[in-house]
Amino acid sequence: AQSVTQPDIHITVSEGASLELRCNYSYGATPYLFWYVQSPGQGLQLLLKYFSGDTLVQGIKGFEAEFKRSQSSFNLRKPSVHWSDAAEYFCAVGATGTASKLTFGTGTRLQVTL
Amino acid sequence: DTGVSQNPRHKITKRGQNVTFRCDPISEHNRLYWYRQTLGQGPEFLTYFQNEAQLEKSRLLSDRFSAERPKGSFSTLEIQRTEQGDSAMYLCASSSERREQYFGPGTRLTVT
């Protein structure tokens, strides 16, 4: 069975500082990987995805993530955080071949201080 | 592309009542998914459809829950005899074959 671990429940960064959110997955083969962002009371917005190919993927809002097979990780990064980035971030894994259900981590809440 | 829409956005009901939620996917997407999200947790998969066929159901989907997608377009999720433990955000998502899922705004259910 697939699973996702987001070890950081809550992270606080200053506006303009760099950001890295950690994600580790468990899956028997190369998975499909995703990062979503959720503002309070809202649905999830897709930030970026990895299906295959280049292990460094670019997403919206200046985010990027790197797939590291050896570490079973897919960490999300942003070089300079904006106050509007404050939200909950979810990493998710999907099974290759079928791309059916997604399994999500428990999320990391990002707080940005001015 | 108008995105995935869900109605209602909020529902308050008394324990024991039945509720039904609707999801309208992105028009060209043939796959539709339902997830449930409780406070402080990530979404958990409930079920998914490819066109009108329900292909997978989670064990979270007790016999009080039923989902339909009669014409392969919109979908409904019904909860019978609601319990306080059913209080959650119910999220719908859609996708093309083997592609990323796009989520709707969710329906927040409160069972009193």
- Segments of chain A scoring below 50 in pLDDT: none
Residue B32: Cβ within 10 Å count: 28
The residue length of chain B stands at 112
* B58·A101 Cβ contact <8 A: yes
Provide the pLDDT for residue B1. 55
pLDDT of A100 reads: 74
Comparison of pLDDT for B10 and A96, the residue scoring more: B10
Given an 8 Å threshold on Cβ–Cβ distance, is A102 in contact with B4? no
∠ at Cα B9 (A111, B3), nearest 5°? Answer: 80
Structural contact between residues B107 and B7, judged by C-beta atoms closer than 8 angstroms: yes
Q: Which of A68, A65, A67 is nearest to A47 (CA)?
A: A65
Measured in angstroms, the CA of A38 and the nearest CA of chain B are apart by 10
Q: Residue with structure tokens 């760099």? A: A18
- Helix, strand, coil distribution of chain A in percent, nearest 5: 10, 50, 40
Q: How many CB pairs under 8 A join A and B?
A: 58
> What are the pLDDT digits (tens) for B21-77?
999 999 989 999 999 999 989 999 999 999 999 998 998 888 999 999 998 899 999
Q: How confident is the model at residue A29, as a pLDDT?
A: 79
